[in-house]
Amino acid sequence: MKNNSDKICVITGGTSGIGAAAARQLAHLGFSVIIVGRNRKKGLNHIKKIKYSDPDVQVDFLHADLSSQNQIRKIAKEFADRYSRLDLLINNAGAYYAKREISVDGLEMTFALNHMSYFLLTNLLLDQLKASVSGRIIVVSSGAHEGGRINFEDLQSEHNYNRNQVYAQSKLANLLFTYALARRLEGTRVTANALHPGSVATNIGANNNWLKTRLRNLIKPGMISPDEGAKTVVYLATSPDVEGVTGKYFYNCKIINSSEESYDEVCREKLWLLSEKLAGLS
């Protein structure tokens, strides 16, 4: 049932995997969905697929490589020029890099895409979110955060690049960001929550080795489909049960505890201030 016809949603990484599934489901629920992705052709093809089963859905596309802060600023301006408010922001884009790579801004790519894109885009769209009757921010983290530590001495992994640790650090950063953001939004009508989608058979890691990624999805036990992985995203986007709920971590549509490190307030504030500096928002 389309009961969200007046609501506007932006979802990053919405051209494949969890993001594509969530974008499709939310469009069919009546949201006006703006997909953000770095592959224009892929994005437009996904919009065609969504519209094929329901020509009346409202779906748009913003083109950006979210590892670039200039491109994040570009799409934030494009959105603000076209829309006066934003009801739902889903920070979902992410990647896993087998080898250390550097973004155009000189940041390690996992950190740039998995954390800094969430931090910068959210801050740039806060005015539009606050203009909503009930703005919701959803951050797609991962259970991998439990193995993460924020290494402030080597945040860009220049001296010791371990792909699993770097990824876990970025997912822990997602939670630290969400909790810090929720505190800063107290007294507003905007909420911020994070989630673990489960072990989802997506293309993450395919940039390193697509065959290995395909085999992982086929043989690793407990893998679920992107549609199943999007379940908690859609729940947080639509359920009246979470109206006013903020600063929480969800799995299977239920609140759970995240790691002990994710509740470290000193680490949380230090990362926020450093992220502000790296994003030029200080």
Q: Which residues are catalytic?
A: 167
CA 45 to chain centre: 21
CA 167 to chain centre: 14
Count other Cβ atoms within 10 Å, centred on residue 94: 26
Helix or strand or coil: residue 197? coil
Strand-pair category, 254-256 with 249-251:
antiparallel
Helix and strand tally (H, E) in the chain?
11, 8
| Beta bridge partners of residue 255, listed in sequence order | 250
Contact 15, 39 (CB under 8 A): yes
User: What is the separation, in whole angstroms, between the first and last Cα of the chain?
Assistant: 43
Contact 65, 39 (CB under 8 A): no
Name residues whose C-beta falls within 8 Å of residue 82's C-beta, 6 or more positions apart in sequence: none
Count other Cβ atoms within 10 Å, centred on residue 58: 15
Helix or strand or coil: residue 188? coil
Question: CA nearest 68: which of 110, 112, 124?
Answer: 112
Name residues whose C-beta falls within 8 Å of residue 150's C-beta, 6 or more positions apart in sequence: 169, 172, 173, 176, 261, 267, 270, 271
